[in-house]
Amino acid sequence: AERLGALARFDVLRAGPRWVGANSMFAIYVEGGAAVAWNHWYRPQTDEPTRVVPEDTKRVEGQLGFGIFLDHRLQEATGIHRVGWFLGWRLALAPHDSEPAVVCRGSSCRSVVSSPDDGLDDQLVDRSILFQSSLAVTW
């Protein structure tokens, strides 16, 4: 899956050099935003067992998250001035839709709907939890 989105991040708690050492900073953050996610699925080959395969989908998501941020300023003349590390968890929420899918047996496939039309689609929310780790460098 690929995601393209915009996030706003806010430091709830920030500790500077006094608590974490010279040239360093530690923060606990919360974030929120919106994104678009694309999911791509592959159909089984002729030598693989039969399974239901969702069609490729695109959906709009709302996102909420939290995590920690570690920032360190380097004093050596290495060309890199700062190194930061984000580590967190993000919850992505999207309205539930009946997803088109295909059932493949060998090389033949047919379209199906993966969830029945029971009127509950408006009440259901698709959720996913994302673990994120990213490195930020300035020079």
Long-range contact set of residues 25-28: C-beta below 8 Å, sequence gap at least 24: 25/69, 25/70, 25/71, 25/72, 26/68, 26/69, 26/70, 26/71, 27/68, 27/69, 27/71, 28/66, 28/67, 28/68, 28/69
pLDDT digits (tens, 9 = 90+) for 87-117: 999 999 988 776 666 666 666 676 666 555 5
More confident position, 92 or 79: 92
Nearest to 83 by CA among 122, 31, 136: 136
pTM of the model: 0.68
